[in-house]
Amino acid sequence: MSHRRILIIYAGGTIGMVPSANGFVPSARFADDIGKLIVKHHGAATHHRLITLDPLIDSANASPHTWHRLADLLWAERDHFDAAIILHGTDTLAYTASALSFLLAGLNKAVILTGAQIPFAMPVSDGERNLQGAFACARGPVREVCIFFDGVLLRGNRARKWSTEPGNGFHSPHWPHLAQVNGSIDINTAALLPPTTPQHDPPPAIGTGRAAIVTLFPGIDASLLRAAADHHRAGLVLALYGAGTGPTADPAIRRTLTAISADRIPLLGISQCPHGTLNPALYETGRQLADCGVIDGRDLTPEAALAKLHTLSCQRRPPADLATAIAVPVAGELTPANGT
């Protein structure tokens, strides 16, 4: 499949950074190195095209506008590539991958995000092998949004940044690796999303509402929840304890959550635990949260939960439909109640 047309989008991130007086910053000069790397590993006849975003960003500054900018660019170029690679900073890589999986759910092409923990200009950089692995996976049968890092290909909306150290950067707690690259490429075909009929609807335009993640903690005040909801009317992702509990002995917490839900602001519950799914019916406190309007997010990652709320808001889904829409996988992002 060496004839495939590969679109490479250099968005910024550590992989192309250079030192400055105030620390590492993105550099456009890395774009020249990308082309040299591809020729080095795949030959001058490789069908690839490079787009460098302007301005480049440190991924700490990524926002929903970044997600839509990338989604719109990929959609506009969809007839000119068979697979795409996005070079992006690691700090918010999983957020961007999750958002693109929803915004481009009908694209039916591989979109592989990668980057580095150490800049390419440094001798111990992991950037070259990550780009090389992403390129290898882009030539395979993958038809979804993924993250390639440290030799493994992960579903983008199932992945989380796990470590700041090379070699253990990203994990996928609830879904197996899609592929492994170690000299050769080993595709886990059973874990891939099946190909779909390409859709003709472009990504939804960015909305005016914003979503937020609020982590519950002992002693949390109800006013924090109310303020978060007032400023993030696209919804709150509530990172709950364990299987889905929270401090419901505080009547102000229950009243506030009920009022937020009545204001048609979605409340989506996920677990603070990196592994495991919610089971709100297991404990009385979980049932009380459900009675306050908290939707069961099952095994969604925080990144995927936030991105899904954002996308549903952009689609202007009626609040009454949100619980159903969240429970149904769009791009393999959660395990539905029936386990399939």
Beta strands in 103-189 (DSSP E): 110-114, 145-149, 152-155, 160-161, 170-171, 179-182, 184-187
Q: Which residues are catalytic?
A: 14
**308 and 98 in contact (C-beta within 8 Å)?**
yes
Question: How confident is the model at residue 337, as a pLDDT?
Answer: 81
Asked if residue 58 has pLDDT above 90, the reply is yes
Given pLDDT bands bounded at 50, 70 and 90, which one contains residue 131?
very high
pLDDT, average across residues 167-189: 94
Question: How confident is the model at residue 220, as a pLDDT?
Answer: 98
Distance, CA of 129 to CA of 107 (rounded, Å)? 27
pLDDT, average across residues 2-19: 89
On average, the pLDDT of the chain sits at 93
DSSP H or E segment with residue 54: strand 48-57
How far, in whole angstroms, is CA 211 from its chain's centroid?
A: 14
Q: Per mean pLDDT, which range of 252-261, 289-298, 313-322 is the poorest?
A: 313-322
Question: How confident is the model at residue 174, as a pLDDT?
Answer: 95
Strand 267-271 and strand 294-296: the pairing is: parallel
Q: Both tokens of residue 169?
A: 């950067």
**Strand, helix or coil for residue 296:** strand
Question: How confident is the model at residue 1, as a pLDDT?
Answer: 44
**252 and 226 in contact (C-beta within 8 Å)?**
no
Question: How confident is the model at residue 43, as a pLDDT?
Answer: 64
pLDDT, average across residues 56-71: 96
Same fold, 6-191 and 211-327: yes
Q: Both tokens of residue 315?
A: 């689609």
Q: What percent of the chain has pLDDT over 70?
A: 97
Distance, CA of 59 to CA of 116 (rounded, Å)? 12
Domain parsing of the chain, residue ranges: 6-191, 211-327
pLDDT tens by residue, 252-271: 999 999 999 999 999 999 99
Name the CATH topology of 6-191: Rossmann fold (3.40.50)
Question: How confident is the model at residue 250, as a pLDDT?
Answer: 97
Q: Which CATH number fits domain 211-327: 3.40.50.40, 3.10.50.40, 3.30.2350.10, 3.40.50.300?
A: 3.40.50.40
Q: What strand order describes the sheet that includes 235-240?
A: 211-215, 235-240, 267-271, 294-296
Asked if residue 31 has pLDDT above 80, the reply is yes
pLDDT tens by residue, 64-114: 999 999 999 999 999 999 999 999 999 999 999 999 999 999 899 999 999
Distance, CA of 308 to CA of 322 (rounded, Å)? 10
**If you ran DSSP here, which 8-state letter would residue 282 be given?**
S
pLDDT, average across residues 176-181: 97
Asked if residue 45 has pLDDT above 60, the reply is no
Asked if residue 11 has pLDDT above 70, the reply is yes
Question: How confident is the model at residue 76, as a pLDDT?
Answer: 96
Question: How confident is the model at residue 307, as a pLDDT?
Answer: 98
pLDDT tens by residue, 143-157: 999 999 999 999 999
**19 and 52 in contact (C-beta within 8 Å)?**
no
**119 and 15 in contact (C-beta within 8 Å)?**
yes
Angle between helices 222-231 and 251-262 (to 10 degrees): 20
pLDDT, average across residues 50-61: 94
Given pLDDT bands bounded at 50, 70 and 90, which one contains residue 340?
low
Asked if residue 189 has pLDDT above 80, the reply is yes
